[in-house]
Amino acid sequence: MGGVTSSVAAKFAFFPPSPSSYRLITDELTGLLLMNPFPHRENVEILKLSTRRGTEIVSMYVRHPMATSTLLYSHGNAADLGQMYELFIELSIHLKVNLMGYDYSGYGQSTGKPSEHHTYADIEAAYKCLEETYGAKQEDVILYGQSVGSGPTLDLAARLPRLKAVVLHSPILSGLRVMYPVKKTYWFDIYKNIDKIPLVNCPVLVIHGTCDEVVDCSHGKQLWELSKEKYEPLWLEGGNHCDLEHYPEYIKHLKKFITTVERSLSSRMSTCQSESDLEMPRQSVDRREKPRKSVDRREKEKPPKGPSKKSKLRITFEQHLDRSRRSIDFHDKARKSVDHHQNNHQIERGRKSVDRLDRVRSE
């Protein structure tokens, strides 16, 4: 039963346009890869990327001269890059971001067959290209997942702790929950977004149409409730599954979100810089203290040469006291000897006087 249900979920999740809405050609003069029937643009690059699962996917990179953020866009289940091309150009212009879109394995001109685990490898290849080819940092990247694209988006977002932000456009709780209102997650389910959203550590914007007939709006609302860093959601009244970008509120709210997270990141960076500046004097003081410690260490290691100044003073003072005591004793002895001599002399004189009186009386 599980295998059958999983197969049904997979069939729902993957419905690539057939035939593909574009084909790839190589310009004879420049050697650049082009996407026909679209004209070449100086700020658009078409690439082929190899994945860890052995497939080769097609991606497009749109550069904006004023961009400070890069949007990595994972499209829906029934679209390819040819159908998304113009929207990607418009989003880059209005949001002032660099943008990378890609086709899943088995979509457009990408090789292989579509599967859940292929899409995980596909988005990893696209993200790796942003880092290695275009120098994007994790803090600069905003992951954008539409419909089934919310699966690879949240899978990657849960593994990138310093990500700038995540946008979920008509997202799904899981593949099985789109078809059946199950209350728990089964092992054979695909795109278990309900279990991954709590692991995302950056601001999350959810956009969903209230009249979505493919993925009920309750999916978006529950994912928003489970988010750690909730941003004001956009519930488009009357919006369906594939028409949200036509609403004026869509681009307006998206632009506000990106501006907010960019400002928030700038303020955090400036705060960190201020704290770093405050720490620098302490570090320099610590550096000056280190030689003092080494001197103390050398002094400890040196054998004692003799008594210190304090001990010398103490000895001198004790010697002085001793001499004073001796002097006092000497004077005391002298005084005693004098007193003893005087007393003896007085007694002797007294005796002689008495003897004279006795003699006078006898005469």
Concatenated DSSP letters of 212-255: -SSS-HHHHHHHHHH-SEE---EEETT--SS-GGGSHHHHHHHH
Distance CA 141, CA 130 (A): 9
Query: Domain locations in the chain?
Result: 47-272
Task: Check if 212 is active-site.
Answer: yes
Can you tell me the mean pLDDT for 244-254? 97
* Catalytic residue (choose from 155, 212, 227, 253): 212
What pLDDT is stored for residue 264 in this prediction?
84
Can you tell me the mean pLDDT for 235-253? 97
pLDDT, tens digit, 9 for 90 and up, residues 48-61: 999 999 999 999 99
Task: Check if 74 is active-site.
Answer: no
* Catalytic residue (choose from 75, 208, 241, 253): 241
Distance CA 324, CA 76 (A): 105
Give the class (CATH, top level) of 47-272: alpha beta
Can you tell me the mean pLDDT for 236-248? 96
Can you tell me the mean pLDDT for 108-137? 97
Burial of residue 135 (CB within 10 Å: 0-12, 13-18, 19+) is exposed
Length of the chain: 363
Distance CA 56, CA 260 (A): 36
Hey, how many other C-beta atoms are within 10 angstroms of the C-beta on 137?
A: 11
Task: Check if 284 is active-site.
Answer: no
Can you tell me the mean pLDDT for 64-78? 97
In the DSSP assignment, the letter for residue 66 is: T
Helices and strands (H and E) in the chain: how many: 9, 11
135 φψ region: left (φ > 0), alpha (ψ -120 to 50), beta (else)? left
Can you tell me the mean pLDDT for 241-265? 95
168 pLDDT above the threshold of 80 = yes
Distance CA 249, CA 188 (A): 37
Can you tell me the mean pLDDT for 183-204? 96
Sequence-distant (≥ 6) Cβ neighbours of residue 249 within 8 angstroms: 234, 236
pLDDT, tens digit, 9 for 90 and up, residues 17-30: 999 999 999 998 99
Q: Which of 116, 110, 145 is nearest to 14 (CA)?
A: 116
What pLDDT is stored for residue 7 in this prediction?
62
**Secondary-structure breakdown of the chain: helix, strand, coil percentages, each rounded to the nearest 5:** 55, 15, 30
* Catalytic residue (choose from 105, 115, 147, 150): 147
Per-residue burial over 324-341, b = 16 or more CB atoms within 10 Å of its CB, e = otherwise: eeeeeeeeeeeeeeeeee
Distance CA 16, CA 345 (A): 142
Distance CA 247, CA 235 (A): 11
pTM for the model stands at: 0.74
Distance CA 152, CA 144 (A): 10
Q: What is the mean pLDDT of the chain?
A: 82
Hey, how many other C-beta atoms are within 10 angstroms of the C-beta on 78?
A: 16
CB 102 within 8 A of CB 49: yes
Enter the tokens of residue 161.
């702790």
CA dihedral angle for residue 130, residue 131, residue 135, residue 138, rounded to 10 degrees: 100
Q: Which of 210, 187, 196 is nearest to 143 (CA)?
A: 196
With cut-offs at 50, 70 and 90, classify the pLDDT of residue 288: very low
Q: Which of 160, 186, 154 is nearest to 172 (CA)?
A: 154
